[in-house]
């Protein structure tokens, strides 16, 4: 058993992958708690797809794709709210328009830049085993920023999440915290894509938080439980991928999904 | 700790307020004044513009013409509190009674500060006052309709609001709980607050307000209940059915 845990850590890439997995396992579910309780799953999925042009641009100009993806994700998060308000459309419709347009733009950029040599499969499914020291530093920086943001805005985030109208009446800060939440979501998705890829980052964002929602009562407890479940799923998935020669992103996703199925089988939450 | 802050002196004045929603006139030339220490009922049929009026007062909707003036009410410091319709609350979000009461302290806390002793004492005092202390750890979804409304009123108290807008606060609340809630609201107005409550219910509560605003996209009448609830006004509000309501009330 000790060999199962320690042996992979003789390799530098596995140590980096383990650090990356822990960061993803903590951050995605922390934000995921808001995604699950505020019905933002479609928004999360859209942001994950919409950062593709930023990542491709990063490869083209030779900067870290995670860094390049951040402004794209943040811009799309803010644009969704602006388009919804200006066009009088539902958030879902605005998300659908922007997500498809940005993903298509990314695919066109990828098709017209054959020299960058990016494997589309790596972008879609993630490649945590290839995570670089720079990626780790970027992820760590984003993690610190997001945790500080969640701490500083905690009460406003609770207010705006539970009673959007009442919080707007109290002040302009409620609108501001909604924007900040979307920006933090975009940042965390960029971290998550490295581990799980564009398609599967949703699993790390939503599944541990949904599991925690079933298990505990209060929101803060839900965030903590989600982070614990997410970390367990990410690390376990990483080891399974190493020992059984499986892709890491899908392995993490399947572990997180397995925990969810187990919890829901033994515990049922009354519908709201 | 005294949960009644220095709220005296607030007043509200609407002058020819006109609001358009999606190209339709939702409110037309609405004019009325409310002074400190008033409990006002806003009555009217569905689609009469009660929620639109509250949204305009709260600054959530732009006013096309006219003016909403709030004297001695600093919106940014939480002096205006809004109890929303049940449908606009995210009940899936797992918060306790204590959490919701603490939300009222957001404006005073600012960005990074955590609640201090004064904030916690004020929240405790408001929960005691509204009979919610024993339920402080309960999730909002575990409460009855009347208890939920009390929690929102507690939040307005911790917010130290001088104006309280309650949109359909009696919807889904049984008659006994309505009575309890109206007593709480009367205490609040006695402390100098302005309390506006939108309701459909004319049978139980009409006589309990100081002022009644009858609204059907425009002001049909505004004044003390005994002067406002006439056959003519009810007909303007509800058509022929309104006249029957008045006769039943008289009987």
Q: What is the mean pLDDT of residues A241-249?
A: 91
How many C-beta atoms lie closer than 10 Å to residue B248's C-beta?
Answer: 10
Q: How many helices (H) and strands (E) does chain A have?
A: 13, 0
Q: Do A163 and B103 touch (CB under 8 A)?
A: yes
In a 13 Å sphere around the CA of B106, the CA atoms on its Cβ side amount to: 32
Q: Do A217 and B139 touch (CB under 8 A)?
A: yes
Q: In whole angstroms, what is the distance from residue A141 CA to residue B132 CA? A: 43
* Mutation site for A-interface testing, chosen from B58, B92, B110 by largest number of A Cβ within 10 Å: B92
Which residues 93-112 in chain B show a CB within 8 A of chain A? 93-96, 99-100, 102-103, 105-107, 109, 111-112
Structure tokens at A52: 């593709």
Q: Do B88 and A163 touch (CB under 8 A)?
A: yes
Nearest to B88 among A164, A213, A272 (CB): A164
Residue A272: inside a domain: no
Nearest to B106 among A37, A159, A165 (CB): A159
> pTM value?
0.86
Q: Which helix (H) or strand (E) holds A144?
A: helix A133-152
According to CATH, what is the number of the domain B7-73+162-251? 3.40.50.300
Cα A72–A42–A151 angle (5° rounding)?
Answer: 70
B38: phi then psi, degrees, rounded to nearest 5 = -125, 135
Q: Do A219 and B82 touch (CB under 8 A)?
A: no
Residue A270: inside a domain: no
* Mutation site for B-interface testing, chosen from A38, A158, A161, A165 by largest number of B Cβ within 10 Å: A165
Q: Which residues of A touch B152 (CB under 8 A)?
A: 166
Nearest to A156 among B80, B94, B106 (CB): B106
Helix (H, G, I), strand (E, B) or coil at B66: strand
Range of the domain at A249: 2-261
Q: In whole angstroms, what is the distance from residue A118 CA to residue A113 CA? A: 9
Q: How many domains does chain A have?
A: 1
Helix (H, G, I), strand (E, B) or coil at B149: helix
Q: In whole angstroms, what is the distance from residue A234 CA to residue A18 CA? A: 9
Structure tokens at A117: 């040599």
Residue A266 in this model has a pLDDT that exceeds 70: yes
In chain A, the percentage of residues whose pLDDT exceeds 70 is 98
> Residue B16 has what pLDDT?
93
Per-residue pLDDT of A116-169, as tens digits, reads: 777 777 777 777 888 888 888 988 998 999 999 999 899 899 999 999 989 988
Q: Do A169 and B102 touch (CB under 8 A)?
A: no
Per-residue pLDDT of A175-188, as tens digits, reads: 788 888 988 998 88
> Residue B91 has what pLDDT?
93
In a 13 Å sphere around the CA of A7, the CA atoms on its Cβ side amount to: 8
Q: Name the residue with higher pLDDT: B123 or A81.
A: B123
CA–chain centroid gap for B58, Å, is: 11
Per-residue pLDDT of A90-107, as tens digits, reads: 888 998 999 899 999 998
Residue A202: inside a domain: yes
> Residue B251 has what pLDDT?
40
Distances (CA, A) of B8 to B45, B186, B209: 32, 15, 19
Q: Which residues of A touch B96 (CB under 8 A)?
A: 217-218
Q: In whole angstroms, what is the distance from residue A66 CA to residue A134 CA? A: 9
Partner residues linked to B69 by β-bridges: B13
The parts of chain B modelled with pLDDT lower than 50 are 2, 4-6, 250-251
Average pLDDT in chain A: 88
Residue spans per domain, chain B: 7-73+162-251, 89-160
In chain A, the residue whose alpha carbon lies closest to the alpha carbon of B55 is A169
Tell me if B123 sits within 8 A of B136, measured CB to CB: no
Q: Do A37 and B92 touch (CB under 8 A)?
A: yes
Closest approach of A179 to chain B, Cα-based (Å) = 15
Per-residue pLDDT of B156-173, as tens digits, reads: 999 988 999 999 888 777
Residue A193: inside a domain: yes
Q: Does this complex have an ipTM over 0.95?
A: no
Give the CATH number for residue A86. Answer: 1.10.3470.10
Q: Do B89 and A173 touch (CB under 8 A)?
A: no
> Residue B233 has what pLDDT?
84
Q: Is A134 on the interface with B (CB under 8 A)?
A: no
Q: In whole angstroms, what is the distance from residue B86 CA to residue B88 CA? A: 6
């Amino acid at each position: 058993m000790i060999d199962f845990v320690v042996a992979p850590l003789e390799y530098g890439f596995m140590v980096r992958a383990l650090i990356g997995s822990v960061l993803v396992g903590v951050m995605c579910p922390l934000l995921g708690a808001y995604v699950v309780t505020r019905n933002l799953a479609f928004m999360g999925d859209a942001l994950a797809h919409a950062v593709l042009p930023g990542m491709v641009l990063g490869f083209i100009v030779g900067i870290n794709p995670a860094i390049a993806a951040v402004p794209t994700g943040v811009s799309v998060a803010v644009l969704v709210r602006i388009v919804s308000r200006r066009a009088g459309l539902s958030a879902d419709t605005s998300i659908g328009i922007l997500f498809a347009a940005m993903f298509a733009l990314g695919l066109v950029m990828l098709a017209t830049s054959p020299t960058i040599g990016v494997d589309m499969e790596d972008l879609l499914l993630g490649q945590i085993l290839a995570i670089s020291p720079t990626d780790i530093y970027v992820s760590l920086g984003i993690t610190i920023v997001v945790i500080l943001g969640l701490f500083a805005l905690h009460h406003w985030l609770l207010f705006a999440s539970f009673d959007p109208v009442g919080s707007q009446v109290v002040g302009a800060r409620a609108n501001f915290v909604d924007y900040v939440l979307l920006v933090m979501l975009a940042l965390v998705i960029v971290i998550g894509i490295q581990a799980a890829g564009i398609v599967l980052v949703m699993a790390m964002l939503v599944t541990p938080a949904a599991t925690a929602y079933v298990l505990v009562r209060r929101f803060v407890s839900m965030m903590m439980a989600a982070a614990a479940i997410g970390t367990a799923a990410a690390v376990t998935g990483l080891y399974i991928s190493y020992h059984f020669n499986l892709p890491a992103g899908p392995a993490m996703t399947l572990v997180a999904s397995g925990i969810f199925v187990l919890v829901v089988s033994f515990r049922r939450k009354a519908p709201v | 700790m005294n949960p009644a802050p220095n709220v005296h002196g607030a007043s509200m004045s609407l002058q020819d307020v006109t609001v358009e929603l999606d190209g339709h006139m939702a409110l037309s030339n609405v004019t009325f004044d409310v002074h400190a220490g008033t409990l006002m009922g806003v009555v009217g049929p569905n689609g009469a513009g009660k929620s639109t009026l509250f949204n305009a007062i709260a600054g959530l909707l732009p006013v096309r013409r006219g003016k909403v003036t709030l004297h001695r009410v600093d919106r940014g410091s939480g002096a205006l509190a809004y109890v929303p319709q049940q449908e606009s609350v995210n009940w899936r979000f797992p918060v306790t009674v204590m959490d919701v009461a603490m939300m009222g302290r957001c404006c005073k806390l600012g960005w990074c500060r955590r609640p201090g002793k004064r904030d916690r004492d004020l929240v405790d005092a408001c929960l005691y006052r509204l009979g919610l202390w024993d339920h402080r750890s309960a999730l909002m979804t575990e409460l009855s309709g009347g208890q939920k409304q009390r929690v929102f009123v507690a939040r307005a108290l911790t917010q130290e609001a001088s104006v309280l807008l309650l949109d359909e606060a009696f919807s889904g609340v049984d008659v006994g709980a309505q009575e309890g809630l109206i007593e709480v609201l009367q205490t609040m107005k006695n402390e100098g607050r302005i309390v506006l409550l939108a309701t459909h219910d004319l049978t139980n509560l009409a006589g309990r307000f100081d002022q009644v605003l009858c609204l059907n996209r425009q002001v049909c009448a505004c004044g003390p209940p005994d002067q406002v609830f006439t056959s003519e006004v009810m007909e303007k509000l509800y058509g022929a059915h309104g006249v029957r309501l008045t006769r039943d009330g008289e009987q």
